[in-house]
Amino acid sequence: MKKIFIAVVCVFSVFKMSAQQDPQFTQNMFNRLAVNPAYAGAKESFCATIISREQWMGFEGNPQTNLLSLDYGTTIKQKHKVGAGLTVIQDEIGPIQSLNAKLAMSYHYRIQQGVLSGGLELGIYNQSISGDWRTSEGAFDGTEDPKIPNAEAGATVFDLGFGLYYYRRNMYVGLSSTHMEQSVISDNLTDLSSLTFKKARHYYVMGGYNYETTAFSRKLEIMPSFFVKSDAISTQVDLNTNVKYNDLVWVGASYRIQDAVSLLAGLDFAGLKLGGQFDNIKVGFAYDYNISDLSTYNNGSIEIMINYCYKFVKNEKIERYKDVRFL
């Protein structure tokens, strides 16, 4: 029951604070649209990404997160490159559930050898708490403290985000902010019982580099990256490195400062040369080993990623001219 007690304490500590961290992802280098709308359309392809994460396995009420992101980029009149995206994130920790759905729009402007894009996202954010949570003493019906909700409570608010993203063929860097309006989620159940929660503004900084070389006469890509997340109260820093061999497989490691070390691995189906739509699929896996004080109470975290990108090929316009002999 000790685990249940700790989970409940953690959950209500979250409710008492004005800030709460967004869901955590280890494969953040494959998940840039979720936190930066300026990334939408950067690949000038239709891309879909699914990520499923179970954090702190073995910890009752542990965080479980699912993400779906879609984006597409195109160039209008061979001059204006624009992008659009959709991100849906479902997160659950103990009795608390959240759903964030947002649309992103971006404009990409070429600067010499690179591209600078700006993006805006608009969406909704729903936060709720179920009415059937339990304490270490058994069922809780709300009679001990009428101010604590003993029935399902929740509300939906407007969500806003903004980002900048600069990229070249072998590098990228981004700066963004989510939940910019810092909406207050409130649901009054009775005269005494209510749920009030303020969503904290988050800030993100990301960057990465792709260094290409050869090993055993095969292509080798070394891809270091970093990811910084802050809500102005706490800051999380991820330092990552992935190594991709022969456009086929990658392995990597990540260090989340004072929190976890992670192993990453993935398969790029393009390297298998199966042909058709299979060449557009990537699959990734990550395992986190917790090094904080919570390591005693959990068996680590796992994360699975599936990515699909398809580039539409535009048919070149055939110019027709009249023969001068038939004017």
In this structure, what are the phi and psi dihedrals at residue 39, rounded to the nearest 5 degrees?
-75, -20
Q: Dmax over Cα atoms in the chain, in whole Å?
A: 97
Length of the chain: 327
Residue 145 has pLDDT above 50, yes or no: yes
Torsion sign across C-alpha atoms 50, 90, 42, 316 = positive
The yes-or-no verdict on residue 246 having pLDDT over 50 is: yes
- pTM (2 decimals)? 0.84
Q: How confident is the model at residue 17 (pLDDT cuts 50, 70, 90)?
A: very low
Distance from C-alpha of 77 to C-alpha of 286, rounded to nearest angstrom:
41
Lowest-confidence pick of 18-32, 33-47, 54-68, 199-213: 18-32
* Spatial distance between the Cα atoms of 193 and 142, rounded to a whole number of angstroms: 9
Q: Is the dihedral of CA 185, 156, 174, 21 positive or negative?
A: positive
Position 14 confidence tier, pLDDT thresholds 50, 70, 90: very low
Given a contact cutoff of 8 angstroms between Cβ atoms, the answer to whether 123 and 103 are in contact is: yes
Residue 315 has a CB neighbour count (10 Å cut-off) of: 5
Question: DSSP class of residue 179?
Answer: S
Domain boundaries, the chain: 2-313
pLDDT exceeding 90 applies to what percent of the chain? 54
Residue 292: its pLDDT value, please?
Answer: 85
What residues contact residue 78 under an 8 Å CB cut-off, 6+ apart? none
Q: How many CB atoms lie within 10 A of CB 5?
A: 13
Determine the 3-state secondary structure of 189 from DSSP: coil
Q: How confident is the model at residue 186 (pLDDT cuts 50, 70, 90)?
A: confident
Structure confidence at residue 327 (pLDDT): 53
Q: Helix, strand, coil proportions of the chain in percent (round to 5)?
A: 10, 55, 35
What b/e sequence results for 48-64 when a residue is b if at least 16 CB atoms lie within 10 Å of its CB, and e otherwise? bbebebbbbeebbbbbb
Q: In the numeric block, which tokens belong to residue 152?
A: 């399902």
**Superfamily the domain 2-313 falls into:** monomeric porin ompg (2.40.160.40)
Span 211-240, average pLDDT:
92
Residue 192 pLDDT: 47
